[in-house]
Amino acid sequence: FKKKFDDYSERKSKYEEQKSILKDRNSFSKTDHDATFMRMKEDHMKNGQLKPGYNLQIATNSQFVLSYDLFQNPTDTRTLIPFLTMIQNTFGYLPEYIVADAGYGSEQNYMAIIDDFNKTPLITYGMFIKDKTRKFKSDIFNTQNWKYDELNDEFICPNNKRIGFKRYAYRNDRYGFKRDFKLYECDDCSACSLRQQCMKPNSKSNKKIMKNYNWEYFKAQINQKLSEPETKKIYSQRKIDVEPVFGFMKAILGFTRMSVRGINKVKRELGFVLMALNIRKIVARRAVYYQIHLK
C-alpha cells in the first residue's frame, strides 16, 4: 500500500507541476517550457506535424516594424487585443484604422476595436470571400439567403414554411467570451418534401436557426468599409506591407529558428532581428536617395 501511495503522490506532484507550466495552454515543450506546440507553415513532411514555437505579432508601416510581441498561443485571434493594448500603452495612441487579415476577424476583436479602442477595424472574417461567390448566394438551403419577415420576426424557407423566433440563447467560449443568439425553429418539418436537402440526414428535430445579430452587424460594417475606395486601398496595402517582413526574415537573413530558449530570451533575439531588418531598409532607401541626387 505504501509503495502505491508513494507512486500516486509522485505522479500527483508531477501533474501539478505540469499544470502550472501549462496555464491556459494545451501543450508545452520539454526543452522549452514557454514554447507551445504549433503547426508551422514550413511543413516538409506534409503531415501537419506539430513543433514547439511562439506566435510572433508585428505592427508595420511601409515595411518598417514599429512594434512586436510574442505569444504562446497559436491562434492569431486571441493575440490582437493584448497586442493593441501593448502598442497603445507604449506609444500612447493607435492608428485610426486597424488592418489585419481574416485570421484576426472575430466578434470579440471587432467589439474591442470599435467600443474599447474607438478605432475602425479593416479586418476580414473567415467567410468574407465565400459570402460573395455566386454559388454561396444562389444556394437556396443556405439560411443566410432565406427571406426574413421583419414584422413577425420569422424566416421563410424554400418550401414557404415559417421559422419563427423561439427564445434567446447564449454561448460562452473556453476563454469566457459570451455570444448572444436568437433561436428560430420551424413548427413542423416532418412532412416537408425538402427535408433531406435542408437538414442533416439523421436529424430528428425541426429546422433551427441560430442568429447572432451582433456578429451580423460587425460583418455588415466590415463589408461596407471595405467597399469604400479609400479604406479598400488601405486594406490592400496589408499584403505588401506586413507579409514581406516575414519573407525578408527567412529568405534574406536566413532566420527560421531561434538559438535561445525561454520567451524573454526569444523576444530579445527577435528584437535584434527586426531591428536589423529596419536598419537594412533604411540603408537601402538612403542608397537609392543618394544615387538619384548624385546623378
Task: State the CB neighbour count (10 A cutoff) for residue 2.
Answer: 6
Query: What is the distance of C-alpha 224 from the center of its chain?
Result: 20
Report pLDDT for 45: 67
pLDDT digits (tens, 9 = 90+) for 102-111: 999 999 999 9
The burial class, CB within 10 Å (0-12 / 13-18 / 19+), for 30 is exposed
210 assigned to some structural domain = yes
With a cut of 50, list the residues of the chain below it in pLDDT.
none
Q: Are residues 285 and 160 in the same domain?
A: no
Is-contact 113 127, C-beta < 8 A?
no
- Whole-angstrom Cα distance, residue 232 to residue 238? 10
Long-range contact list for 163-167, CB < 8 A, 24+ apart?
Answer: 163/207, 163/208, 163/209
Instruction: Give the structural domain span for 275.
Output: 50-124+226-294
Q: Are residues 194 and 254 in the same domain?
A: no
42 assigned to some structural domain = no
Report pLDDT for 246: 92
**Is the pTM above the cut of 0.75?**
yes
- Whole-angstrom Cα distance, residue 210 to residue 79? 27
Is-contact 38 53, C-beta < 8 A?
yes
103 assigned to some structural domain = yes
Is-contact 39 48, C-beta < 8 A?
yes
